[in-house]
Amino acid sequence: MMTRRTFLSAALAMVASGCTGEPTVSGVIPADPGLRPQADPGWDAWVAAFRPRAAAAGIPADVIDGAFRGAGFLPGVVERDRNQTEFRRSFEDYLAIVAPEAKVQAGRAAFARQRGTLAAIEARYGVPAEIVCAIWGVESNYGARRGDIPTISALSTLAYDGRRGAFFESQLLAAMRILQAGDVTAGRMVGSWAGAMGHTQFIPTSYLQSAVDFTGDGRRDIWGEDPTDALASAASYLAGAGWQRGGSWAVEDPAGNLTPDAGGPSFRTGPNFRVIKRYNNSDSYALGVGYLADRIAGGGPLRQGFGPDRYGLTIDQRQDLQRRLTASGFDTGGTDGVIGPNSRAAIAAFQASRGLPATGDPSPALLAML
41 within a domain of the structure (yes/no):
no
Q: Is 108 in the same domain as 228?
A: yes
DSSP 252: E
Task: Write down how long the chain is.
Answer: 370
262 within a domain of the structure (yes/no):
yes
The pLDDT score that the predictor gives to residue 86 is: 54
Q: Is 228 in the same domain as 365?
A: no
Task: Domain count for the chain, please give it.
Answer: 2
153 within a domain of the structure (yes/no):
no
What is the residue-wise DSSP string for 169-220? HHHHHHHHHHHHHTSS-TTT-EE-TTS-BTTTTB-HHHHHHH---SS-SSS-
36 within a domain of the structure (yes/no):
no
CA distance 14 to 48: 5
The pLDDT score that the predictor gives to residue 358 is: 97
Non-local CB neighbours of 365 within 8 Å, separated by 6+ positions: none
178 within a domain of the structure (yes/no):
no
Catalytic residue among 22, 92, 139, 169: 139
Spatial contact of 237 and 206, defined as CB atoms under 8 Å apart: yes
List the chain pLDDT tens, one digit each, 370 residues.
344 443 332 222 222 222 223 334 345 577 788 888 888 999 999 999 999 999 999 999 999 999 999 999 999 999 888 876 556 789 999 999 999 999 999 999 999 999 999 999 999 999 999 999 999 999 999 999 999 999 999 999 999 997 888 999 999 999 999 999 999 999 999 999 989 999 999 999 999 999 999 999 999 999 999 999 999 999 999 999 999 999 999 999 988 999 999 999 999 999 999 999 999 999 999 999 999 999 999 999 999 999 999 999 999 999 999 999 999 999 999 999 999 999 999 999 999 999 999 999 999 999 999 9
The pLDDT score that the predictor gives to residue 87 is: 60
132 within a domain of the structure (yes/no):
yes
Decide if 139 is catalytic: yes
Q: Is 292 in the same domain as 320?
A: no
Q: Is 319 in the same domain as 284?
A: no
CATH of the domain at 130: 1.10.530.10
Residue 24: how many CB atoms within 10 A of its CB? 21
Domain with 340, as residue range(s), is 315-369
338 within a domain of the structure (yes/no):
yes
Pairing of strands 149-150, 250-252: unpaired
Q: Is 238 in the same domain as 346?
A: no
